[in-house]
Structure 1
Amino acid sequence: MSVRADTAAKKPLRADAERNRKRIVEAARELFALRGIDITLDDVADHAKVGVGTVYRRFSCKEELIDGVFEQRLEEMIVFAEEALTATDPWEGLVIFLDRLCEGMSADRGLGEVVLGTDEGCEGIAQVRERLEPFVDKIVLRAKASGQLRADVEVNDIFPLIGMVSTGAEFTSAVDAGNWRRYFTVVLDGLRSEPGAATALPGRALTGAELDSAKAAMHRRRR
C-alpha cells in the first residue's frame, strides 16, 4: 500500500476517535451536572454508549476528565470576575460576580463541587483557580473599601457562603430550580454593612408538602 493510501485509511479512524472523545466529554458533563463528580468512568462509558476501554484510552483517570469538562467553566468565571471589576459600584460588582457563580453552581452540581473542592489531580483546574483567586480578592476588598460590605467580612468568608447557597439550590431543585435566589438574597443582605437595608425576597417559602418532596429527592441523590 502506498504512503498516501495508508494515510487516507487512517483519517477515518482519527475522526472517529475525535467523535468518541466529544461523546465522552458531553456524557461526563451531563452526569457531573446531574450527579456531581462522584461518578465513575464506567458510568460515563455507559452514558456515552461507548466501551469502557474507549474512555480509558482518552482519559487515564477521572481527574483528567474533570479537567477536560470544568477547566473552561472556570475560565468563564475569570471573565465574570473581570466584568465585575468594571462595575462602577463596587457592591454591584460583588453581587454580579456572586450571582453568576451561584447561578452556574445551581444548574451544575459538579461545578459546585469543583469550585468548593480541592484541585488534587486536576492540574488544569488548579492553574485556572490560581489565576481566579486574585480577582476574587479584588472584588471583595473593593466592596469592603467602599463601606458597603460589612467591615468584619473577610475574603475567605465568601466561599462558605457560596456553599450555603449551593446547598440550598440542591435542596430545592426538585421543587423549584430557581428558588435558590431567595436564599442568595438573604445571604447578600447579611453581607451588607447598612442595618435595616433588607431586600424583598424573590421566590417563596416551600409548602410543607414541597419540603417533604425536596427532602425525599435529596435523600435519593445521596444514597
Structure 2
Amino acid sequence: MSQSEVEQGRRPLRRDARESRDKLIAAAQSEFAARGVDASLEKIARDAGVSIGTLYRHFPARLDLLMAALRPRLQEFVDGANEVLAMDDPWTALVAYLEHLFGMQVGDRGFSDFLSRRFTDNAETERMHDEMCDQIEGVLTRAQDAGAARPDIVLADIVNLIWATGRIIDATGTTAPDAWRRNLHLMLDAYRAERAHPIAEPPMTSEQLYDAMVHLRDAR
C-alpha cells in the first residue's frame, strides 16, 4: 500500500491500477504546470496512455486529480516556507517568504492558478489556502510589529501581488524569466514603513478577497 493510500484510508490498488494512477499523476503534473488548472483532462489521459474513463475511475473530479498532482509541490512550498519563517530578522523573513512564494510560480501555471483562486467545494484546497494565508499574515504582522513594514498592508494586498506576479511570469517567462523579481522588489520598497503615506482607497475586506478568488475560478 502506498503512503497516499494509507493517508486517505483507501484499499491498496492492484499493480496495474497503481501504475495507471501513477502515470495519470505524472501526466497531470506536466500538463497542469504548462496549461494551468483548466488543462484538458482528455489530453492528460492520452499522455498517460489510458482512457478518459480510467482517469475518472481514479479521479472522479478535476480537483481530485489536481490535488494529487500538486501535493508534492505544495509540500515543497510548505517546507521552504517553514525554513523562512524561522529567520530572526522580520523584514528579511518577509522578503524571503515572498521570493519563495513567487519563485515557485515560475514554470508552474498550475501552482500559480492554485494560489490565485479558491475552490470552495474541496476541503483539502480550503485547508491549504487557509494555512498559506495564515503564514502570510504571520510573516507580515511580524514585520509590521518590528516597524519594518508599513502598518496598513493586509493579506489582500499580498494576494493582489500574487495575481500581478502570475501575469508578469506568463508574459515574460520566455523572454525575461526573472522580470518578476524586479517588480517584487519595487513593491517591497513601497511596503517599507518609512515609505508609507496615506492611501485613499481602502484595502479589500476578507469577504471581498475570498469572493474575488472564487470568481477567478468560476470565470474560467
Q: TM-score, normalised on structure 1?
A: 0.76
**Equivalence for 1:52:** 52
Whether the 8 Å CA contact 2:70–2:111 is kept in 1: the answer is yes
Displacement of 1:71 in angstroms is: 3.3
Larger radius of gyration: 1
**Equivalence for 1:93:** 93
**Equivalence for 2:142:** 142
SS at match of 1:106: coil
5+ residue gaps, structure 2 = 1-12, 197-220
Displacement of 1:182 in angstroms is: 1.9
CA-to-partner distance for each residue in 1:100-129, whole Å, 9 max, x for gaps? 110111221111111110123333222222
Aligned equivalents of 1:165 and 1:36: distance in 2?
Answer: 15
Whether the 8 Å CA contact 2:137–2:154 is kept in 1: the answer is no
Whether the 8 Å CA contact 1:70–1:125 is kept in 2: the answer is no
Displacement of 1:191 in angstroms is: 1.3
Asked if residue 70 in structure 1 is aligned to residue 60 in structure 2, the reply is no
Percent same amino acid among aligned pairs? Answer: 30
One-letter amino acid matched to 1:100: H
Displacement of 1:164 in angstroms is: 1.0
**Equivalence for 1:26:** 26
CA-to-partner distance for each residue in 1:2-61, whole Å, 9 max, x for gaps? xxxxxxxxxxx8112111111111111111111111123212112222221221111112
One-letter amino acid matched to 1:36: G
Displacement of 1:76 in angstroms is: 3.0
- RMSD (CA atoms): 1.9
**Equivalence for 2:159:** 159
Aligned residues, how many? Answer: 184
Q: Quick one: structure 1 residues 193 and 135, their matched pair in 2 at CA, closer, same or farther if it must change by over 3 Å? A: same
CA-to-partner distance for each residue in 1:178-197, whole Å, 9 max, x for gaps? 3221222222222122349x
One-letter amino acid matched to 1:155: L
Whether the 8 Å CA contact 1:81–1:139 is kept in 2: the answer is no
Q: Which of 177-186 and 56-65 deviates more? A: 177-186
**Equivalence for 1:188:** 188
Aligned equivalents of 1:74 and 1:130: distance in 2?
Answer: 13
How do 1:6-17 residues align onto structure 2 when only pairs under 5 Å count?
Answer: 14-17=14-17
Q: TM-score, normalised on structure 2?
A: 0.77
**Equivalence for 1:201:** none
Q: Which of 153-162 and 70-79 deviates more? A: 70-79
Displacement of 1:72 in angstroms is: 3.6
Aligned equivalents of 1:125 and 1:154: distance in 2?
Answer: 22
Aligned equivalents of 2:122 and 2:28: distance in 1?
Answer: 15
